Amino acid sequence: MPQPLPGIASRIAAVRARVDDAARAAGRDPREVRVLLATKTQDAATVLEAVAAAAEAGLTGAGPVLVGENRVQELVAKAPALAPLVAAGAVEVHLIGHLQSNKVNPALATASCVESLDSLALAAALSTRCARDGRVLDVMVQVNVSDEASKSGVAPADAAGLAREVAALPGLRLVGFMTIGARPSPAGAPVGARSGDAVVRAGYARLRAIRDEVLAGGAPGTGEARELSMGMTLDLEAAVAEGATLVRVGTGAFGPR
């Protein structure tokens, strides 16, 4: 594995420090929160450098470094470079962007978790492929907590029902919920005076409430649905405060695209 470039290494260390500080401020154990590297538009060499830096910084604790891709075509292009690390258990690849049913096969060739499950039709397609291959795929239900038309995800009112249906399908293991929060206020705005902060936190609290409802319901296959994948570079503190177990960081690790 290549040695990380100083810029990437320092940014990733700073992200980990932010997460740790946010967790402590919320009275949480920092080890409860993992950081996923969102590698959209990054080439394979840069991703490998970031993985090395993430391992050095303990970005995900003792577990594998988490890499998240938004687009299946990028996932496929970077798969050969990541394959040895995936095989060694050093890297785990998640799909974090919208997945079309006709791209299930290439996505599942590398991804071990699909965080962006937003329909029963997609769940059925994933289940069919996994049953054929004799494998179990981790999935999260993506919820559009901000009710914005530009964002993917099931409506909050329908999320618990979809989660129970997904959990009943063979070949799928429901591990939690994911969301893209409302747009936060610009960086540098005074904390506490940012008009969007309350909306961002309310959305994350909404996802946590959906997760808790599903866990409390005790439906078959829902007992492992504890993950809350929420928060990115600009709003990770709000997400951690509301219970995020996984935050997805792109700009914070790689710099502006």
Quick check: is 239 in a domain?
Answer: yes
- How many structural domains compose the chain? 1
| 3 state SS of 158 | helix
**Is residue 142 in a domain?**
yes
pLDDT at 191: 47
What pLDDT is attached to residue 192? 43
- Residue 186 is predicted with a pLDDT of 58
Cα 110 from Cα 78, distance rounded (Å): 10
**Confidence at residue 197, expressed as pLDDT on a 0 to 100 scale:** 81
Query: CATH number, domain at 218?
Result: 3.20.20.10
Closest to 36 in 3D by CA, of 62, 10, 17, 54: 54
Judge whether 112 lies within some domain: yes
Which among 151, 154, 163 has a CA at the least distance from the CA of 227?
Answer: 163
Q: How far apart are the first and last CA of the chain?
A: 24
Beta carbons of 96 and 36 less than 8 angstroms apart: yes
Q: Is residue 155 part of a domain?
A: yes
Cβ-contact 159, 120 below 8 angstroms: no
Q: Would you say residue 78 lies in a domain?
A: yes
What is the structure's pLDDT at 193? 39
What is the block-wise mean pLDDT of the chain (257 residues), using blocks of 10 residues?
A: 66 95 97 96 94 87 91 96 96 96 94 97 97 96 88 94 98 97 63 62 96 98 98 95 97 88
Domain that holds residue 43: 6-254
In a domain, 1, yes or no: no
